[in-house]
Amino acid sequence: MGYWNQNADGSMLRAEEPGLIWGDVPSDIFDAAIADAVRVFMAENAGREPAEEELIADFQSALWGLDSGEGNTPSAILNVAITDAAQIFAEDVGREPTEEELTVGFQLALKDWLYGEAETPAVVSS
């Protein structure tokens, strides 16, 4: 399970340079959560994919505690992902991730989804 240093824009730094830390497992958690959040959003919105801004708003609601984290909503799914990613990060790195690290990690996963690095999930009606 690799971790790396990066700037807030997501660009990589050499190991000795100070910066934000992010890792493979927290990234995988966010990748899966975005796919799940998109699937739920599409099921609730006649197959329409969410705009980038909508997913960012759901993430911010979850990060800032504005959503209870209960139910099957995009922000609830992202709330669980934040908790899980933070727990793994803390176990591996020895400290809690900062809000900025979580935000940059989410933004990297979101870019993967937006620019085709991740698959658009199939809509499953509930």
Amino acid in position 4:
W
Residue 119 inside a domain? The answer is no
Average pLDDT, the chain: 84
pLDDT band at 20 (very low <50, low <70, confident <90, very high): confident
- Whether residue 107 lies inside any domain: the answer is yes
Burial 36-48 (b: 16+ CB within 10 A, else e): bbbbbbbeeeeee
Encode pLDDT of 34-83 as tens digits. Answer: 999 999 999 999 899 999 999 999 999 999 987 666 778 999 999 999 99
Q: Is residue 54 part of a domain?
A: yes
Q: Which of 70, 36, 18, 113 is nearest to 4 (CA)?
A: 18
15 falls in which pLDDT band (50, 70, 90)? low
Strand 3-6 to 20-23 pairing: antiparallel
Examine residue 71 and state whether it is found in any structural domain, yes or no: yes
Expressed as residue numbers, the domain containing 88 is: 23-114
pLDDT band per the 50, 70, 90 thresholds, residue 16: low
In a domain, 63, yes or no: yes
10, part of any domain:
no
Tally the domains of the chain: 1
Rounded to a whole number of angstroms, the distance between the first and last alpha carbons of the chain is 35
> Across residues 12-32, what is the average pLDDT?
80
Would 45 be classed as within a structural domain? yes
So what's the pLDDT on residue 70? 72
Domain-located, residue 17: no
Does the pTM exceed 0.85? no
Confidence at residue 4, expressed as pLDDT on a 0 to 100 scale: 76
